[in-house]
Structure 1
Amino acid sequence: DQLPDKTHHGWKYIKFGPDGQLYVPVGAPCNICLSEDPRFAALLRMDPKTGGAAVYASGIRNTVGFAWHPATEELWFSDNGRDRMGDDVPPEEINVASRPGQHFGYPFLHGSGILDPRFGDDAPNLEFTPPRLEIQAHAAALGLDFHNHDQFPPPYRGALFIAEHGSWNRSAKVGYRVSVVTFEDGEPRYAPFITGWLEGERQWGRPVDVLAAPDGSLLVSDDQQGAIYQVTWNPSR
């Protein structure tokens, strides 16, 4: 068994990549810590033929959703920031791994340059890869997927959809929605896409994952309601 047995941040998705390898995220076994085991806070890549496994990317506290860009095949993934630093720090991250061996900062650095109060001064002399996009702290960005079908109108063709599960430890709740990242001249533009699960401080649903279906619709799972919603576009309306 090549995976650690810690359960903290242990609920994960696994996927085969365009290279035929199996990608398996392993979360940090804590809120904030530095583990001697390099498999923690990392994304592993496994060869299904040989059974061999290696760290593909590190410095990732708690990634859940990940997907490959349909044109560049770069790996985009969410990462949930640490707790107990405040309502608005550190941000949730959407990161891009363009090659093996990148380090995304945890536990030393959060977001684009927030030093961790406990580990920031001990940061090794490494090149940290900043996030491609920052999201509201504690929104809990989980599953994500690219939509590359003409069933949706521009600019949603090729857009990245993100399920925000919602906060549990913030003074005012955030998240509880599906957001979208569109691209203008290659630059990401982040905006809400589906809202309504949160009414004031009461939530009636929690998005977990999104999936671009073969028919061009977008599927959204909700673990509070035990439901899967199908989102389609009707050009006549």
Structure 2
Amino acid sequence: MRLIAVGLPMLFWCGWIQAADLSDIRLPAGFRIEIAVDDVTNARSMALGDQGTLFIGTRRSGRVYAVTDRDGDGRFDPPRVLLDGLRMPNGIAFRQGALYVAENHRIVRYDRIEQQLERPPEPSVLARLPTETHHGWRYLAFGPDERLYVAIGAPCNICDEPGFGTIVRMQADGSEREVMAAGVRNSVGFDWQPGSAVLWFSDNGRDWLGDDLPPDELNRAPESGMHFGYPYCHGGEIPDPLYGRERPCDQFTPPALKLGAHVAALGVRFYTGEQFPADYQGQLFIAEHGSWNRTVPDGYRIGLARIEGDQVTSYTPFAEGWLSPDGVTGRPVDLLVMPDGSLLVSDDHAGVVYRISYNP
């Protein structure tokens, strides 16, 4: 098993990054974790092509990677830099042979991309986006309605700026843009519940109200136009010190699940595979990227939200061990269910993609 060895000092609480064996990662019985893709600097959002190409977006490196498994052994070949010099290309999606990329300032499409990995075509520009960089890394996905969804984070810690703090949707060509959800400070992950096709999304709570307030949120949006409180109300019941007097909390939709404060919940993914045990079917995994501004760090794990209908009945750790008293070895970002039922997890801290599989 490969060791993750990183030798740079961190610039916040934990001092030195520690090398760690993946045996430090704790999973339920029967599950195992291994590295599926190595040397992917700042690995963030993932999308899978029709021919099995795994596309990986980034936030800081300005790249989109493409990796393939040519010999079919379940381990991807060394990654190639597909696109470079982009502006925060965090969000990526794949549909009908085309790769969609959400940069900070625009959404673009690369047609027939899997036939042109050696020389990608010039992109078509579908939509212009705000250029503010605070929370300017976008999440992008196609919904069951075949429309393209993108998050527009607030350009601040706390402010009331029109056009921000939303999840918007549009046709695949960028037309007919509308607000799906408002009052969303910064969502970097969403998915649709199997069967109901209802949108569920993560949202990062505001900073500087202390270690334990407000909670990060898992939200549920069964219809368009719902408002989830930001910047007036947090966690469904906490009036904001600056904006709370303008609108009361009972005007907004409370979260489906209150997560830990500052855990930085990012990717969310309903499990739709068949490899994991039956009681994981239709349940929701949440990647907690981890706190950067909390006295006692929290997050750095993958949680499992068990859901019955429209209610979350429990939330427990599924994969943890990237955080220890000695430091941080990884920060989960995005999740992707593969055709064989395994679960891929990107890690922008270690620069890898893990595969979690089940074999009792």
The reply to whether TM is greater than 0.5 is: yes
| 1:64 and 2:188 correspond | yes
Go from structure 1 to structure 2 and tell me whether the alpha carbon gap of 1:126 and 1:193 turns closer, same or farther (over 3 Å shift).
Answer: closer
| 1:208 and 2:330 correspond | no
Report SS of the residue matched to 1:155: helix
| 1:3 and 2:129 correspond | yes
**Alignment map for 1:142-221 (pairs within 5 Å):** 142-184=266-308, 187-188=311-312, 189-200=314-325, 202-221=327-346
Amino acid at match of 2:321: G
Identity across aligned pairs (percent)?
A: 53
- 31, 49, 59: which one pairs with 2:157? 31
Distance 1:200 1:174 in 2: 12
**Alignment map for 1:100-115 (pairs within 5 Å):** 100-115=224-239
8 Å contact from structure 2 (residues 154, 186) kept in 1: yes
- 218, 224, 229: which one pairs with 2:349? 224
Go from structure 1 to structure 2 and tell me whether the alpha carbon gap of 1:94 and 1:6 turns closer, same or farther (over 3 Å shift).
Answer: same
Corresponding residue for 2:148?
A: 22
Give the drift of 1:203. Answer: 0.6
Per the normalisation by structure 2, the TM-score is: 0.62
| 1:98 and 2:222 correspond | yes
| 1:121 and 2:121 correspond | no
Q: Output one character per residue of 1:114-142: Cα deviation in whole Å (capped at 9) or x when no partner.
A: 00011000117983111000100000000
Distance 2:335 2:353 in 1: 9
Distance 1:10 1:134 in 2: 24
Distance 2:219 2:311 in 1: 14
Amino acid at match of 1:231: I
Corresponding residue for 1:75?
A: 199
Give the drift of 1:48. Answer: 2.3
Unaligned runs of 5+ in 1: none
**Larger Rg: 1 or 2?**
2
Amino acid at match of 1:216: G
Go from structure 1 to structure 2 and tell me whether the alpha carbon gap of 1:186 and 1:4 turns closer, same or farther (over 3 Å shift).
Answer: closer
Q: Output one character per residue of 1:60-111: Cα deviation in whole Å (capped at 9) or x when no partner.
A: 0000100000111000000000000010100000000100110000000000
RMSD of aligned alpha carbons: 1.6
Q: Output one character per residue of 1:144-178: Cα deviation in whole Å (capped at 9) or x when no partner.
A: 10002221013211110011100000001000001
Report SS of the residue matched to 1:121: coil
8 Å contact from structure 1 (residues 141, 164) kept in 2: yes
How many aligned positions are there? 233
Report SS of the residue matched to 2:269: strand
Bigger relative contact order, structure 1 or 2, given CA contacts below 8 A and separation 6+?
A: 2
Unaligned runs of 5+ in 2: 1-126
Moved over 4 A (4+): none
Distance 1:41 1:185 in 2: 27
Greater shift in the superposed pair: 72-81 or 6-15? 6-15
Distance 2:277 2:310 in 1: 18
Report SS of the residue matched to 2:167: strand
Per the normalisation by structure 1, the TM-score is: 0.94
